[in-house]
Each structure stands twice: as C-alpha cells, then as structure tokens.
C-alpha cells in the first residue's frame, strides 16, 4: 500500500484496476471522463480500454467481456445512461458471469449537463443494485466491493458518484500494483438457455430478480458502509434523526458538532434499500430529516419502511418541503436546513475571511479562431432572407445560440437535431431545414438520423462540423481521428464515404475559413431537393494551434462600423478608442475578421489550410 493525492475519478480508476478489471469501455462526458483516461494512462497492457462510439455500444462491449467471466467497467454520465438504457434493462434479466460495474456520474446542479437525473431512481426502475460513495476514499474502496458483489450475485451493478465526488480530491491509501487481484476467467461458454433472451427466460428471471433483490436488501443492511452513527452530547436522548448519502453526507458531518449531534444514518446502497438498517435507525425516533441529491429517493424508501413495519415517525425532506426539491446541495444550505430542523439558532457566518472580489462576467463563447464560428457565419450569410431553421446539437457548437451568431434554434440531446429538422420540414415544407452536428457526435448518434432523413425523403441540409476531435469533453479521439484511446493508429472512419454509402449523393467538403467560396456552395447545396450534406473541416484551434501571424487593425482605415464585432462575436476582436482592436493574446490568425471587414482594415492573419480546398 502507498498513499496518493487523488481526484475522485482517479481513485475510482485505481480501485477498478485493483479489483482486476479486464475490459473498460465508455463514452466521454463530464464529470465521468477521467476514470477511463486514468486507466488508459496507467494501463500496463493487460486491460482493454476503449472510447466506444456511444454509451450503448460501451455497455454491450462490457457485457460481452462479463459473459466471458472477465471483470468489466463501463463509464458514462447520467444523460449517457439514457442512450445505454436499452441493453442495460435487458442485461439485468440475462445477468453476467464476471463482475460488471456500470459507473454513471450524476451531475446535480446541473453543472455541465442538459438534465438533473438521479440514477438511483433508474437503478430501482431497472432493478439493478446501486452503490453511492460519500468520499474519494470510499469510492476507491466501494468500487472494489461492487465488483465482488456483482460477481457473487451474477448481476451488473450501478456505481453512482456525483460531480463533487468525481472531481474532489483526497489523500488516500491505495494498493500497490503487486497487490492487484488477478482474476481467472474461463471464457464464453455456449448456453442459449442462459444468454439468449426469450420471453420465457425473461419471465422466469424476473421472478428470480425480485426474490434476489429482497435478499440483497438484507445483505445491504449488514454492509459496513451503510452506517448508523449514534447520537451524542445534548442530543443523546433526542428523538430526532438525520439521514443522508453521498457528498451530502460529507457536508452534513461538516455542518455538525462531532460531539453534539442527533442519530445519523448514512445510506451507501440506496437500492435495494437496506430496510433492516433503516428500521433499526428509526426505532424510538419521532421525526427524521432526509438530505439527499436529487430525487426524494431515500425519503420515499423511509416512508415505505415506516408503513411496512408500523413505525410511527414523521419523515421530512423534499416531499414535505423541508429540503429544496432540486439543485445541488451546499454546505451552507445544509447547515441552515439542519438548524431549522433541530430548532437551533441561525448560523452566524464567520466574517474573519476577506471579502471575495466580484468576478468578471464571462458568458460561454466559442474560442477565438474556432472554426465553428466561421461555419455558422457562412451558413447564416448564405441563408440570409430565407425562412430557415437551424437545429443544433450537444457540443461546443451549442454556443452558437448566443448573439451575435444566433444559429442554434433547437438543442435536445445528442444527434436529435438531425431528426428534429426533418420533423419541421414535414410540417413546414417551405422552411429550409438545417441540422448541425459535430464529427464525434455524428459517429455517436448522428448516423441513424442521416439514414432516417434519406429513407423518409426529407428535404434538409445536414452540416457536419468536423474539427477532428471531441472538443467539449476534453479532446478525446473518435472513429474519425484514426487513433484509439490507447494511442494506436488505425484506419479512420470516413464521414463522406459513410454519407455516400447511405445514399446521399450531394456531399460537399469545405474549409469554413474560405468564406466567399463556402457561402456560394452552401447556397447551391441548400437549393437542391432531398437530403444533402456539407462537411466543414478545420481542426480545433485549441488542439492544433496555427503558427502563423496574428491579425492587426489599421486604425486609420477602420471606419468603426463594428461589423467584425457585431457579426462574429470573437473574443479576440474588441473595441478600443472607438476602433476595432485585435487582442493578440487570443488571436489565432484565422483571417475570418479580415474577410468580413468591408474596408480591408484588418490584415496579418495566416490561416492554415489543413488539406481542405
């Protein structure tokens, strides 16, 4: 054993490696991404690690490994669970042979997500056991328990950290590589009665699952990380109690006097709910406060437990209005909630710290030199004056919704914009329908939309913004980059060939920084009937920084029309003394502002042509 200062995701990764994981698959998404990246970085060569094309594929790859008896980990964030839900729901009915952990990172807030989903509720819905760590150290230990548990009960399990666990840090004791488990597995054994999901098998296995989960609830009541902390001090004989879990439990303990607090229950395995432990906790209590993120999951389970066992105790929480119904919990909020519940005086904030200065307002914006800005500007200019809808997608390019670009009319979930554009066209055939999708998202969930549009004869233009990476989640590789997660060079999947293989005949590949040419091509393509596609190809400016010159403004030529500012919204172009001014610390020399300037007052940029003419 040795000590390391680790991010939660790093600790989870090392815990999985210590448990003998053999296959790790996933799809990048904050706050889960670093788990797979850490395993890839520390891999000694005996673990298969991959970024799968989407979460559904990742689960199916891991399931195949688990069918063979090997231990498998699949990683995603909560919205990725939606994509993976089809195989996960069926997988629980089939079961696994090797331990399989589905790590789903929830994002209360939400801080970087479309939704505030609670995976504990999905665990109950899918009947899959859920582990919910409360600290970095516990996450490291608990994921090892999760693999053991999964194997013992032949079921996949959900491991549900949240953002503050994933991205928190703690110095913890971890195993040396020599201490890692070596798991022997026999490989896949043919048995259609076990591995082929027919209605008869599902019916029989459903009954087994219900019986098994009842037994698991009893097992979880004895699991050491489900813990009752006795009351102390002035609350020794109090009939009040508090229940919490995850990072909220850590905040709760920070908010209480360690020598002077009521009875506390920490729930580490929310499903199947540890009723026995909860019943023991509730004995003699008059009222219990539940502090949790996000759904009133534990609150409902406690109310059910009270009813089932005839326990007379009032349960306060989200359903009663004692705790806010949504959003991320904070230490100060929990302090206030607990004080109200216990009838203590309102907390007086410590004013010995200096006042924190007000931070400047920095709205999210596309990077200076981002090729997406040029792509959106090209389409906007080409379609000026026409009735058009611009359907967006999940990624950096969602930022095109902001002024002055204003080029994102809809955004639902990954890949949805392509089909939404089709739906609009079918009811408003006079609308020019455009759908924007990134190269990584195209492979993850956009291909089916392209097939659907071609098959159902939609009149729309698919625009693929190919910047040769998965930029928003940290520049991970994807099938179009020609690299795997382990750094292997492979043949890349060709977007243009894929589109032509579907049957789409008009596919144009453009450099968005060739402004005039690109505008004319977009006009021509958009005027054609049927499904057609434009690929704007230029690498992400963060990953491939040009080495050319930076632009500058000739103040004598500048007429202060502000077109470069008002139409582009590039953070590298600002106003100074009434004239346009280039911030050379941000400028990448992309030349977009030079091409937009009506009087040629801007020059000096040296945009690179990365093989696109």
**pLDDT score of 352:** 60
The tokens describing 80, both together, are 């990725």
Whether 612 shows a pLDDT value over 50: the answer reads: no
Return d(Cα 204, Cα 490) in angstroms, integer: 44
pLDDT band at 225 (very low <50, low <70, confident <90, very high): very high
Whether 110 shows a pLDDT value over 90: the answer reads: no
Return d(Cα 365, Cα 191) in angstroms, integer: 54
pLDDT band at 212 (very low <50, low <70, confident <90, very high): very high
- Among 101-110, 282-291, 326-335, 482-491, whose mean pLDDT is lowest? 482-491
Whether 325 shows a pLDDT value over 60: the answer reads: yes
Portion of the chain with pLDDT greater than 70, in percent: 97
- Which residue(s) pair with 331 in the sheet? none
Return d(Cα 389, Cα 504) in angstroms, integer: 21
Mean pLDDT along residues 11-24 = 97
Return d(Cα 260, Cα 272) in angstroms, integer: 31
pLDDT band at 490 (very low <50, low <70, confident <90, very high): confident
Helix axis angle, 119-126 to 297-309, nearest 10°: 50
H helix or E strand, kind and range, residue 383: none
**pLDDT score of 611:** 40
Q: Count of CB atoms within 10 A of residue 555's CB? A: 14
What single-letter DSSP state applies at residue 444? I
Q: What digits encode the pLDDT tens for the residues 534-579?
A: 999 999 888 777 777 889 999 999 999 999 999 999 999 999 999 9
- Which residue(s) pair with 579 in the sheet? 576
Whether 335 shows a pLDDT value over 90: the answer reads: yes
Portion of the chain with pLDDT greater than 90, in percent: 71
Q: What digits encode the pLDDT tens for the residues 380-417?
A: 999 999 999 999 888 888 888 888 998 998 888 888 88
Return d(Cα 80, Cα 71) in angstroms, integer: 21
Return d(Cα 215, Cα 223) in angstroms, integer: 13
**pLDDT score of 346:** 56
Q: Which of 195, 561, 542, 158 has its CA nearest to residue 369?
A: 542
Q: Which of 261, 303, 269, 20 has its CA nearest to residue 158?
A: 269
Mean pLDDT along residues 477-492 = 78
Q: What digits encode the pLDDT tens for the residues 61-75?
A: 999 999 999 999 999
Which is it for the CA torsion 607, 373, 525, 491, positive or negative?
positive
**pLDDT score of 147:** 98
Strand 573-576, strand 579-582: pairing: antiparallel
More confidently predicted of 168 and 492: 168
**pLDDT score of 88:** 95
Q: 343: phi > 0 → left, psi -120 to 50 → alpha, else beta; which? A: left
């Amino acid at each position: 054993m040795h000590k390391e200062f680790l991010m939660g995701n790093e600790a989870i990764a090392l815990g999985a490696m210590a448990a003998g994981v053999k296959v790790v698959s996933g799809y990048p998404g904050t706050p889960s991404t670093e788990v797979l990246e850490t395993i890839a970085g520390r891999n000694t060569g005996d673990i298969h690690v991959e970024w799968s094309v989407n979460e559904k594929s990742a689960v199916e790859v891991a399931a195949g490994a688990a069918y063979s008896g090997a231990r498998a980990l699949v990683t995603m964030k909560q919205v990725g669970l939606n994509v993976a839900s089809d195989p996960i729901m069926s997988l629980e009915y089939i079961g696994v042979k090797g331990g399989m952990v589905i790590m789903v990172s929830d994002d209360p807030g939400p801080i970087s997500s479309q939704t505030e989903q609670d995976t504990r509720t999905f665990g109950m819905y899918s009947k899959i056991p859920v582990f919910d760590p409360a600290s970095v150290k516990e996450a490291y230990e608990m994921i090892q328990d999760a693999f053991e548990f999964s194997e013992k009960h032949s079921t996949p399990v959900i491991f549900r950290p949240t953002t503050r666990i994933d991205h928190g840090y703690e110095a913890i004791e971890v195993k040396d590589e020599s201490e890692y488990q070596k798991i022997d597995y026999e490989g896949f054994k043919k048995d259609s009665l076990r591995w082929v999901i027919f209605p008869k098998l599902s019916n029989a296995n459903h009954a087994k699952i219900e019986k098994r989960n009842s037994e698991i609830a009893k097992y979880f009541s004895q699991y050491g990380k489900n813990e009752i902390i006795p009351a102390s001090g002035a609350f020794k004989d109090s009939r009040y109690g508090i229940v919490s879990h995850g990072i909220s439990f850590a905040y709760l303990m920070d908010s209480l006097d360690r020598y002077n607090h009521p009875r506390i229950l920490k729930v580490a395995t929310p499903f199947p709910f540890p009723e026995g432990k909860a019943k023991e906790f509730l004995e003699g209590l008059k009222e219990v406060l539940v502090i949790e993120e996000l759904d009133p999951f534990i609150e409902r389970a406690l109310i059910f437990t009270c009813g089932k066992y005839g326990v007379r105790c009032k349960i306060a929480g989200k359903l009663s209005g004692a705790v806010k119904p949504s959003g991320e919990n904070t230490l100060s909020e929990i302090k206030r909630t607990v004080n109200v519940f216990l009838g203590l005086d309102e907390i007086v904030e410590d004013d010995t710290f200096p006042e924190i200065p007000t931070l400047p307002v920095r709205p999210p914006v596309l990077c200076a030199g981002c090729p997406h800005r040029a792509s959106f500007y090209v389409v906007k200019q080409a379609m000026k004056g026409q009735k058009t809808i611009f359907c967006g997608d999940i990624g950096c390019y969602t930022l095109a919704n902001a002024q002055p670009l204003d080029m994102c009319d809809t955004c639902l979930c990954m890949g949805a914009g392509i089909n939404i554009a089709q739906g609009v066209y079918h009811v408003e055939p006079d609308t020019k329908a455009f759908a924007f999708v990134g190269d990584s998202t195209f492979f993850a969930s956009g291909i089916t939309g392209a097939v659907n549009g071609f098959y159902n004869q939609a009149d729309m233009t698919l625009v693929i913004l190919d910047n040769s990476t998965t930029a928003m989640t940290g520049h991970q590789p994807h099938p179009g980059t020609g690299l795997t997660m382990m750094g292997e060079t492979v043949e890349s999947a060709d977007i243009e060939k894929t589109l032509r293989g579907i049957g789409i005949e008009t596919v144009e590949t453009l450099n968005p920084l060739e402004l005039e040419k690109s505008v004319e091509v977009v006009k021509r393509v958009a005027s054609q009937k049927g499904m057609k596609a434009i690929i704007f190809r230029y690498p992400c400016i963060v990953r491939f920084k040009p080495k050319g010159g930076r632009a500058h403004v000739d103040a004598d030529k500048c007429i202060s029309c502000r077109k470069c500012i008002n139409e582009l919204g590039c953070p590298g172009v600002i106003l100074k003394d009434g004239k346009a001014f280039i911030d050379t610390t941000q400028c990448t020399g992309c030349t977009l502002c030079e091409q937009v300037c009506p009087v040629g007052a801007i020059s000096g940029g040296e945009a690179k042509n990365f093989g696109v003419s």
